[in-house]
Chains A and B, each alone.
Chain A
Amino acid sequence: MSHQLPAILFLLPLFAAISMPVVCLKHRHWSHPISVAVLVVMVLVSVLNLYNVAHHGEVRYVFSGWTVPFGIEWVADGLASVILVLLSVLSLLGVVFAGPTSPKSLGGRIVHYYILILLLISALTGIVFSRDLFNLFVFLEVAAISSYGLVGVAGGRALFAAFRYLILGTLGASFYLLGVSYLYAVTGTLNMADLADKIPLLLDSKAVVAGLLFMFIGLGIKMALVPFHVWMPAAYTYAPDSVSPVLASLVTKVALLAWVRIIYWVLNASIAIYDIPILLLVAVLGSLAAVIGASLALAQRDLKMMFAYGGISHIGIILIGIGQGNQTGFVGGIFYLLNDAVMQAALFFLAGVAFCHYKVRTIEDIGRVGKQAPWLTGSLIVMALGMIGLPPTGGFFGKWQIILGAIEAGSYVSVAAVLLSTLLTLAYFVKLFEAIFRQTSAPLDVKFGEIPLSFKLTLGVTSAAIMILGLFSSPIVQMLLNHALPPGL
C-alpha cells in the first residue's frame, strides 16, 4: 500500500476536481464541504507519506509499470514529502478561508473555483513528485492554466491581470518546453536520473547549454524571478481574495522547487557553463531579486501589492540559500521556503480579511480600522516578525541558516543582500505599523461585527505556524539535513 502513496496524493484532488461538475450540478453548495473533506484526507495521507519516507526511505513510482528511462517516474523523497505536507496544509487552509468569502468575491462562480483550485493542487503535487522533464512541463501547464482561470474567475479588472499572466506564463512554458526539446534531441532521454548521467559529459554542446538556458528562463518566469516578475503583483492583487493566498504561497515556490530539482538532481550543482559556475549565477540572481523586490515593496500603498513584492524578494532570499552550494545554505533555503509559503499565505489571508470584512485595501485605510480589528492587528504583528526575521519566528532561523551558509561559502555579497533586504522589509512594515498605531488619519466610525470563525481560524493557524516553525526549527532543520539533501552535497 505505501508504495502507492504518491499516486494517491495526486489522485485525491484530481478525482474530486473532475467529479465536481457532475456531483455539484444540482447542489452547488456541496462543493465547499466536499473540497474541505478531500483536502483533510490529503493532509493525513501526506503526513503518512512523510512518516513512511522518513522511516523506510524514498518511494519510487513508475506509471503504468514501465521500466525507468522509458516510463514516467515519480519519486517521493524527503524534500518532496516535506513540501507535500506544506502544500496540502496550506491548500486546506486556503479552501477553508474561501468558504465565507467565495460567493461575493468570485461573482457567483463557486463550482468553477473549487474545480480549478483542486486541479491546481493536484498539478502542484505532480510538479513536486515528478522526475521526468516533460511530465514536469505538463503539470506546470495544468497548474498555470488553472491559475489563469482562478485569477480571472470573478471577471472585471482581474481579467486584464489574468490575461497578462496568461501571456507571460505561456511564454515561460514555451521557453521551458523548447529547452526540454533541445536536451531531448541531444541526449534522447527525459528522465532526470538518466539525464544526470549524460549531461555532465555534454557540456561542450551548444544545444545543451542553450536548452538549459531556455529551461532556466522559462522556470524563472514561472517563479517570478526579478527580471521576469512583472506578471505577478497585478495577478495576485486583482485575483479574488479566496484565490490569492493559495496562488501566492504555492505556485511560485513549487516552480522554484522544480528549478532546484534541475540544478541539483539533473545537473551536478558544482558544474560551470562557459566558466560561469551555475550556483554563482543562482546566488547573484537571488541577491538581485531579494533587494529589488523589497525596494519595490517599499513603494507600494496597496496591501496585496506590497505583500506580493515582499514575496518576490523572499524568492530571492531562498535562491541565495540554494546557491551557496553547501549543506547549511541548502537546508536554510528549503527551510526558508517552508516559512515563506506559510507567511505569504498568512499575509494574503490578512489582506483578504481586511478587504472582505473591513473593506480596506490600502495602508492608509488599514490604519483607520486598526483599533476595531484585534485579530487583524494581532496576526499582522506575528507576520511582520516573521517577514522581518526576528528570533522567535521561523523567518529568523531560515535567514540565520542562509547567512551561515553564505559565510561558510565565503560569499559576503550574499550576506549583505540578505541583510539589506531584511532592512527594507523592516522599513515597509514600519510604514504599515505607523499607519496603524500613530492614527494619522481619522478612524472610521462604522461598527464592524465579529469576523467569521473561518477567518479567525486561518489567521490564527498561520500565525501560530509562523511561531511553531521557529520554535521547532532545530528538529525540522535536522530532519531536512537527514532526508532532504540532494545527492552529492
Chain B
Amino acid sequence: MIRPHDSIIVQTLGRFLIPVVQIFGLYVLFFGQYGPGGGFVGGVILGTGMILSVLIFGHDASRSQFVKNVLHGDGVGMLIYAGVGGLCMIGGGEFLNYANLEIPGLETASRRSLGIVLTQIGVAIDVAVTAVSIVFSLSAEEIMEDSING
C-alpha cells in the first residue's frame, strides 16, 4: 500500500513534473523514427511518469485511478504489435513485413514508417504497463491480485 507523500514541495513539483515526463516519453517514442529512442525507452519513461504519480499522490488518490486502470491494458500492447504483424501477413508478406501493410493511398516507404510507429507504440504500452505492474506487485500484493482477478 502506497501512502501519499507528505511534503508539499514534492506534491507541487510532482504536479508540474509528471506531465513533462509523459510528454518527453512520447517525444522519445516518436523520435525513434529518426534517431536514438523508440518503443522500449519511451515506454520506460511513460511508465516512470505513472509510477511517480502513484508514489507522490498515493495509491488511493483519484489521480492514481488512471494508473490502476492501465493495469488492465496488459497484453494490449502485444496485441497491437502482433496485430500489425498479422495484417502484414494478410497483405501477403511475411510477419512484420510492413511493405505489405494494406493501407490504400500510401507508398511503400510510408507504409514501412507507419508500420514501425504502430509496433513501437505497442511495445511502449507493454513496457509501461509492465513497469507499473512491477511496482504495484512489489508494494501491495493483494491489490494486484484483485485488479487482475476482478
Contact = CB atoms under 8 A, between A and B. Distances in A.
A329 B100 CA distance: 45
B78 to A, nearest CB: 4
A22 B82 CA distance: 15
A158 interface: no
11 contacts: A4-B89, A18-B79, A22-B72, A25-B72, A25-B150, A62-B94, A63-B97, A64-B95, A65-B93, A65-B100, A111-B149
A15 B95 CA distance: 13
Nearest to B94: A65
Given A11-B95, A14-B82, A109-B149, 13 more contacts: A4-B89, A4-B94, A8-B89, A11-B86, A15-B79, A15-B82, A21-B72, A21-B148, A22-B72, A62-B94, A64-B94, A65-B93, A112-B148
Interface string B76-104: 10110010011001000111111110000
Given A18-B79, A25-B150, A64 B97 contact: yes
B96 A11 contact: no
Interface residues of A, number: 23
B80 to A, nearest CB: 10
A22 B75 contact: yes
A440 interface: no
Contacts of B78: 18
Interface residues of B, number: 21
Contacts of B85: 11
Contacts of A111: 148-149
Contacts of A309: none
B22 to A, nearest CB: 24
A19 B79 contact: yes
A61 interface: yes
Contact of A7 (B75, B79, B94): B94
B85 to A, nearest CB: 8
Contacts of A65: 93-94, 97, 99-100
B74 to A, nearest CB: 5
Contacts of B72: 21-22, 25
A18 B82 contact: yes
A26 interface: yes
A42 to B, nearest CB: 16
Interface string B43-83: 00000000000000000000000000000101110110010
